[in-house]
């Protein structure tokens, strides 16, 4: 388990609107989330399945006494579901009052960016893109999508189920 | 928070308790009880609030309490009969007093119009009305000019004092001038004064006249002297005994004066009154009625002087022991208790892990380590029970709020309602109690607003005009069951069905049983009220109630008989922290089944299982056919059905005494588990009550037996809509 700590020395103080992002991979695609919402990153452990739950909810794991739901971010974004191995990681993120785990392939980078580097989401037809992608970044010719975490958990979908 | 604010907070907490006592007392009186002790309790409650309020300069509160107290005193003295009308006014006055307390606490403005009306109504009850009351009203209006707490001459407390001034009482004038040696020997004059106060009522004046200017002041010198006027039942020797250890280091003059003189000074009386009221407010539950005070006065009090030294101005003759026993409780910040509970929860998990590791290490059951672990387990359990007991509280605190609600809703709806309660001493975890208030309020409102008919309709139906709402609590198989019953018209089934169909909640021609129709009222967006009223009928009612009960791991059901009334039954876990469970496996998953639900377990034989219509199966046990529920199938762990002969059947009894058999793959053992909410980080999962962490560190789900049983029954009838409703 690796605790992520934002090192204050590396934070550029001259850029007031600079923020740090954690970039991670799922398949060939790259995504990132705001580092402030990330609590820790840990290795994959087998989750206890939850019955009658959406397919992207892998189940729950024990995080030092807390029951942590695990969301397969790949499946949540409409990509093929992950087949987790010991090398997969869980990004423990804080969304409002809730703490959830995001299953991703690997964490790749910590990016320090300013707001003007984040481009608006390209106008594509995908609902997924509109719901979850807040913007895109171009870093070394790679496209990294900034994920808005607040939509990741299903909202009272159990009523419809 | 500064010290004063903390004391004030305690005062308001105690006020709530006193208000509860007050209401209970008045309700008991209303039921025709004429026990003088009840009247005393009611009186004490108001008196304590007044006393405390005076100490905090809450004039508004003091004035109202004062008027209230006057009338109660007449009731206590028998000058006023406890008739129904009198008590109704008093109950409303109690509500007003509660409002004033809350207004003072929250710093908001109270309804002064209502206060004045009620104060006038109370004054009108006073049999010795007119002159004196006008007088006291006069004082009220000018009271605010005075500095400090306003304490008018309260007739009541004079009565108390008349009782206290017996022929045995002596009055002493004590002149006390310490020498520097007294201080040099580490004596403290304040402590001596306190001791004196323990003997009786003391009025202490300090003489500063010998105090020199600062340059001439010797820091180790002694310049002060005191004059103490003491009223006590003790003799001179007892008074001198207080100064026994400083006798040689002071000038002491103890003179006995005639008890008849003195104390005509109203300021003095006000001071005594203030002291008395403060002490009473402090003791909160004064166990010593005036008659007992009389009796205890004759007892030798010599040994009390030392013991009660820390309480300034003990009431004369008040037994320190009585004070101690009523104060054998402490107020603890709830966060601390919660922290303890969480830690004990972790301890239980840890202990389970240790046991598991020990088994994995292949240590023998009889080894020293194993015995030690067994003992640890017992200790853990005891600690857990003790901690839970700290949190357990009688449901009384919630039930107490309901009479007022009933009165208010009754007035608003123009219905005549009588509330009866039972089992208010049933204990349940504090968190459950806290979260019980809202749903219960809603249910009672509904019972009055929708359940009970108007007096005219009731008369026409041959029922007494006064409707009955019964609120009860009891423990049943490890859960607390709370019922709200009314004797109203019952659920108007054709109307409920029509409305549900109209709102598109069900198909119009859906064939529904009576029970299913009754349960329609729990559907989101269902409301029979045609207008939105203040009371109920926002269309969120029972749906919200059901959700909040479910969030507590509870269930709600309804039984209704046309023209006879409806009964809502809530069943809730006693604690939200731990449960005894049976650990089972189903389709490779580990589940915990609450032990309280399980009656027995057995290995089904092939010839005992019978297929039924569709996929449903029943199992025969002792000449009874019981529905067999495949848990794995029910929770979608597998699409097919398990072979009953290779499984274990758990016989469970769910809500409404419904018996079913749950089919699981194997039983792993029995264990106490710590309940971890799924809702904290996720949301409610149908069929699952909560999660827990097992000895191997993995999360296991706790089965919601009733929901699984209900779900299977609904699935069998194919009524999908109700499935969503039943969760």
Which candidate, B345, B352, B299, B348, places its Cα nearest to that of B322? B299
Looking at domain B395-573, does it have CATH number 3.30.565.10?
yes
Are B538 and B524 within 8 A, CB to CB? no
B688 contacts A51? CB cut-off 8 A: yes
Chain A residues touching B590 at Cβ < 8 A: 48
Task: List C-alpha distances in Å: B369 to B357, B379, B415.
Answer: 11, 15, 68
CB contact under 8 A, A153 and B676: no
**B530 or B360: which carries more pLDDT confidence?**
B360
Nearest CB among A48, A153, A156 relative to B701 is that of: A48
Interface ipTM = 0.80
Instruction: Report yes or no: B313 and B230 within 8 Å, Cβ to Cβ.
Output: no
Question: A89: burial class by Cβ within 10 Å (0-12, 13-18, 19+)?
Answer: buried
Q: Which residue of B has its CA nearest to A152?
A: B682
> Chain B residues with CB inside 8 Å of A156's CB?
683
Determine the length of chain A.
161
pLDDT at B584 over 90: yes
Chain A, chain B: beta-carbon pairs less than 8 Å apart: 81
- Distance of residue A88 Cα from the nearest chain B Cα, in angstroms: 18
The encoded tokens of residue B674 equal 């710590």
Residues B629, B614: contact at Cβ < 8 Å? no
**Checking phi first, is residue B684 left (phi over 0); if not, alpha (psi -120 to 50) or beta?**
beta
Give Dmax (Cα) for chain A. Answer: 50
Q: Which residues of B touch A66 (CB under 8 A)?
A: 676, 680-681
* Domain limits, chain A: 19-147
Residues B471-502 pLDDT 10s = 999 887 667 899 999 998 888 888 888 888 88
**E strands, B380-466, in order:** 392-394, 417-422, 427-429
**What pTM, to 2 d.p., does this model score?**
0.49
Reduced to 3 states, what is the DSSP secondary structure of residue B591? strand
Q: How many CA atoms lie within 13 A of B411 on its CB side?
A: 7
Calculate the average pLDDT of chain B. Answer: 75
Specify whether domain A19-147 bears CATH 2.40.50.180. Answer: yes
Position A1 scores a pLDDT of: 43
Provide the residue ranges of all domains of chain B, joining segments of one domain with +.
3-152, 163-326, 334-391, 395-573, 578-726
- pLDDT (0 to 100) of residue B317: 40
Distance from CA of A89 to the nearest CA of B (A): 17
Q: Average pLDDT for residues B245-274, to the nearest whole number?
A: 67
Nearest chain A Cα distance for residue B316, angstroms: 56
Q: Six-digit token pair at A117?
A: 């580097």
The model's pLDDT over B298-311, given as tens digits with 9 standing for 90+, comes to 444 434 443 333 33
- For residue range A85-113, what is the model confidence (pLDDT) as tens digits? 888 999 999 988 889 999 999 998 898 88
Q: Which of A22, A38, A36, A52 is nearest to A144 (CA)?
A: A22
Q: Which pLDDT does position B33 carry in this prediction?
A: 75
Q: Please, are residues A30 and A108 in contact by the beta-carbon 8 Å criterion?
A: yes
Cα B544 from Cα B524, distance rounded (Å): 8
Residue contact A159–B724, C-beta within 8 A:
yes
Fold of B578-726: SH3 type barrels. (2.30.30)
Task: Give residue ranges of A with CB < 8 Å to any B CB.
Answer: 46-53, 57, 59-62, 65-69, 98-100, 153-154, 156, 158-161
Distance separating alpha carbons of residues B568 and B443, to the nearest angstrom: 8
Q: What is the C-alpha separation between A25 and A89, in angstroms, rounded? A: 10
Q: Which residues of A touch B345 (CB under 8 A)?
A: 65
Residue B433 above 80 pLDDT?
A: yes
B496 reaches A (C-beta below 8 A): no
Determine what percent of chain B falls in helix, strand and coil, rounding each to the nearest 5. Answer: 50, 20, 30
Beta bridge partners of B204: B228
Nearest Cα of chain A lies from the Cα of B355 at a distance, in angstroms, of: 18
Alpha-carbon Rg for chain A, nearest whole angstrom, is: 16
- At residue A68, the pLDDT reads 92
Rounded to 5 degrees, φ, ψ at B577 are: -110, -45
Residue-level length of chain B: 727
Percent of chain A with pLDDT over 70: 84
Q: Which of the two residues, B136 and B411, has the higher pLDDT score?
A: B411
**Domain B3-152 classification at class level:** mainly alpha
| pLDDT attached to residue B273 | 67
Q: Are B683 and A100 in contact (CB < 8 Å)?
A: no
Residue B280's pLDDT band (boundaries 50, 70, 90)? low
């Amino acid at each position: 388990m690796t605790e992520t700590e934002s090192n204050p020395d590396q934070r550029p103080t001259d850029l007031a609107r600079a923020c740090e992002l954690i970039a991670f991979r799922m398949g060939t695609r790259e995504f990132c989330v705001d580092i402030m919402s990330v609590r820790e990153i840990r290795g994959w452990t087998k989750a206890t399945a939850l019955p009658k739950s959406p397919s992207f909810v892998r189940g729950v794991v024990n995080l030092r006494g807390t029951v942590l739901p695990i969301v397969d971010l790949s499946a949540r974004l409409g990509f093929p579901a992950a087949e987790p191995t010991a090398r997969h990681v869980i990004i423990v993120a804080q969304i409002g009052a809730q703490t959830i785990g995001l299953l991703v392939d690997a964490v790749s980078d910590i990016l320090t960016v300013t707001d003007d580097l984040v481009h608006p989401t390209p106008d594509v037809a995908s609902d997924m893109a509109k719901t979850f992608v807040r913007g895109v970044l171009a870093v070394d010719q790679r496209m990294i999508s900034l994920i808005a975490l607040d939509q990741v958990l299903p909202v009272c979908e159990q009523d419809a189920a | 928070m500064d010290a004063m604010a903390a004391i004030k907070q305690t005062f308001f907490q105690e006020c709530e308790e006193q208000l509860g006592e007050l209401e209970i007392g008045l309700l008991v009186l209303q039921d025709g009880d004429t026990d003088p002790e009840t009247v005393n309790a009611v009186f004490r409650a108001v008196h304590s609030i007044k006393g405390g309020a005076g100490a905090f300069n809450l004039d508004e509160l003091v004035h109202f309490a004062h008027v209230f107290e006057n009338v109660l005193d007449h009731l206590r003295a028998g000058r006023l009969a406890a008739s129904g009308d009198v008590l109704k006014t008093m109950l409303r006055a109690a509500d007003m007093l509660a409002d004033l307390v809350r207004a003072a606490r929250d710093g908001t403005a109270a309804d002064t119009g209502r206060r004045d009306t009620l104060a006038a109504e109370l004054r009108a009850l006073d049999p010795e009305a007119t002159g004196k009351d006008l007088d006291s009203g006069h004082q009220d209006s000018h009271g605010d000019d005075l500095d400090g707490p306003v304490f008018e001459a309260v007739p009541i407390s004079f009565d108390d004092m008349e009782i206290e001034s017996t022929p045995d009482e002596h009055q002493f004038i004590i002149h006390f001038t310490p020498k520097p040696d007294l201080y040099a020997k580490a004596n403290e004059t304040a402590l001596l004064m306190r001791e004196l106060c323990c003997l009786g009522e003391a009025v202490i004046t300090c003489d500063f006249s010998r105090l020199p200017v600062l340059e001439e002041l010797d820091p180790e010198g002694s310049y002060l002297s005191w004059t103490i006027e003491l009223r006590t039942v003790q003799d001179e020797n007892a008074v001198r005994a207080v100064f026994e250890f400083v006798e040689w280091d002071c000038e002491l003059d103890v003179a006995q004066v005639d008890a008849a003189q003195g104390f005509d000074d109203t300021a003095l009386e006000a001071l005594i009154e203030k002291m008395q009221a403060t002490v009473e407010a402090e003791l909160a539950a004064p166990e010593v009625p005036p008659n007992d005070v009389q009796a205890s006065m004759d007892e030798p009090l010599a040994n009390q002087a030392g013991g009660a030294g820390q309480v300034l101005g003990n009431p004369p003759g008040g037994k320190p022991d009585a004070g101690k026993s009523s104060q054998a409780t402490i107020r603890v910040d709830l966060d601390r208790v919660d922290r303890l509970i969480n830690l004990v929860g972790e301890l239980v998990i840890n202990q389970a892990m240790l046991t598991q590791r020990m088994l994995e290490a292949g240590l023998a059951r009889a080894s020293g380590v194993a015995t030690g672990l067994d003992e640890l387990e017992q200790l853990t359990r005891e600690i857990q029970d003790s901690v839970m007991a700290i949190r357990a509280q009688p449901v009384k605190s919630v039930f107490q709020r309901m009479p007022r609600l009933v009165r208010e809703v009754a007035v608003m709806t123009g219905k005549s309602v009588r509330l009866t309660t039972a089992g208010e001493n049933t204990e349940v975890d504090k968190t459950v109690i806290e979260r019980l208030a809202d749903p219960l309020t809603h249910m009672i409102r509904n019972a009055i607003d929708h359940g009970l008919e108007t007096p005219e309709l009731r008369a026409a139906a041959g029922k007494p005009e006064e409707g009955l709402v019964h609120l009860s609590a009891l423990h049943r198989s490890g859960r607390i069951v709370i019922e709200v019953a009314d004797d109203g018209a019952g659920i108007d089934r054709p109307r409920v069905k029509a409305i549900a169909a109209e709102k598109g909640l069900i198909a119009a021609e859906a064939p529904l049983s009576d029970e299913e129709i009754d349960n329609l009222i729990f559907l989101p967006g269902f409301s029979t009220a045609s207008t939105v009223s203040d009371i109920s009928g926002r269309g969120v009612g029972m749906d919200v109630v059901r959700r909040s009960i479910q969030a507590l791991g509870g269930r709600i059901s309804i039984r209704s008989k046309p023209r006879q009334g409806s009964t809502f039954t809530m069943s809730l876990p006693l604690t939200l922290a731990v449960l005894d469970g049976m650990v089972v496996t189903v389709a490779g998953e580990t589940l915990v089944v609450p032990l309280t639900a399980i009656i027995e377990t057995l290995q089904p034989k092939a010839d005992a299982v019978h297929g039924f219509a569709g996929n449903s199966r029943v199992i025969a046990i002792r000449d009874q056919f019981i529905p067999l529920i495949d848990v794995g199938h029910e929770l979608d762990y597998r699409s097919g059905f398990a072979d009953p002969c290779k499984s274990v059947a758990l016989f469970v009894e769910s809500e409404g005494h419904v018996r079913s058999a749950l089919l699981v793959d194997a039983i792993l053992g029995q264990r106490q588990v710590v309940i971890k909410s799924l809702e904290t980080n996720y949301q409610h999962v149908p069929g699952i009550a909560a999660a827990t962490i097992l000895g191997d560190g993995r999360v296991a789900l706790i089965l919601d037996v009733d929901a699984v049983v209900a779900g299977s029954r609904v699935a069998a009838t194919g009524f999908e809509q109700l499935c969503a409703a039943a969760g």
